[in-house]
Amino acid sequence: MDDRYGSDVLAAGWRERAAKPVPEVPAELDLVVEVAGDGYCGAVTKVQAGNVELEDWKGRTRLFPLGGGFLVEGKPVKLVPPKAVQQGPRRTASGSFVVADQRARTALPSRILVEGKHDAELVEKVWGADLRVEGVVVEFLQGVDLLDALLDAEPPSATRRYGVLVDHLVPGSKESRIADAVARGPHGRHIRIVGHPFVDVWQCVTPKALGIARWPEIPRGTDWKTGICRAFGWPYETQADTGLAWQRILSKVHTYRDLEPALLGRVEELIDFVTEPAGR
């Protein structure tokens, strides 16, 4: 007679048969992982000699053996070495195909202007290879307030276009009023001003890239960057502290996927504008 309840319930291995299999997940670069034992959360920065290195949002790193004991999006997983990537057409950080043996072109007269050093560094990190191929130089202003003075000193033309990237370009803001005035002025035909809606270019880096749920809310009346550093537990008293904070944030940017779409489209628009043939 068949035993409807199966074989001996006390036989060895009954626990393993009842347990759900834990999926294996390759420890790919930038994968955000939580350690089930102590709650430590960080992004994968290195896999070597059977270990995985995780870096948390404060820049601290810890080493763990590959295998079980990890959570991804709250679910148990086993981390395994990433698969070898087959060589195919390589892409730049912006997602464009790499042009083999392409030397940088002589710089065009046209320029892309950004509001500050941090904006320029972010654009360079993601679009630098593309800009060198196109011969486009990125320069930074010390604020959009100085745009009028620059245009008077070096007016744009059909062969010398300016694309301008502005922080916090939202209706009713100071930045939008300046942009509207310039667009209506004598140089409007040869200048394109676009922007993202965030208070500062720091926020153009996605929370996911930083391993956080969202950017902290900073109260009105508090310097935004100071508030961000305080919220993250970083030093904030000097300009050097702010610079170090930005370098920590910038280090998390590897490709266009680490940036908000509100910035991506605007930079691509400016590149198209300043490289458009004269007369079009």
69-89: per-residue pLDDT in tens? 999 877 899 999 988 655 555
User: Looking at residue 246, what is its pLDDT?
Assistant: 95
Q: What confidence score (pLDDT) does residue 98 get?
A: 53
pTM of the model: 0.64
Specify the pLDDT at position 21: 85
pLDDT confidence of residue 279:
47
The pLDDT, as a whole number, for residue 108 is 76
pLDDT of residue 278: 61
**Closest to 120 (Cα-Cα) out of 100, 139, 147:** 139
pLDDT at site 20: 73
Give per-residue pLDDT as tens, 145-189.
Answer: 888 888 888 899 989 999 999 998 888 888 889 889 988 889 889
pLDDT of residue 104: 46
What is the three-state SS of the chain?
A: CCCCCCCCCCCCCHHHHHCCCCCEEECCCCCEEEECCCCCEEEEEEEECCEEEEECCCCCEEEEECEEEEEECCEEEEEECCCCCCCCCCECCCCCECCCCCCCCCCCCCEEEECCHHHHHHHHHHHHHHHHHHCCEEEECCCHHHHHHHHHHCCCECCECEEEEECCCCCCCHHHHHHHHHHHCCCHHHEEEEECCCCCHHHHECHHHHCCCCCCCCCCCCCHHHHHHHHHCCCCCCHHHHHHHHHHHHCCCCCHHHECHHHHHHHHHHHHHHHCCCCC
- Which regions in the chain score pLDDT beneath 70? 1-19, 57-59, 84-107, 278-280
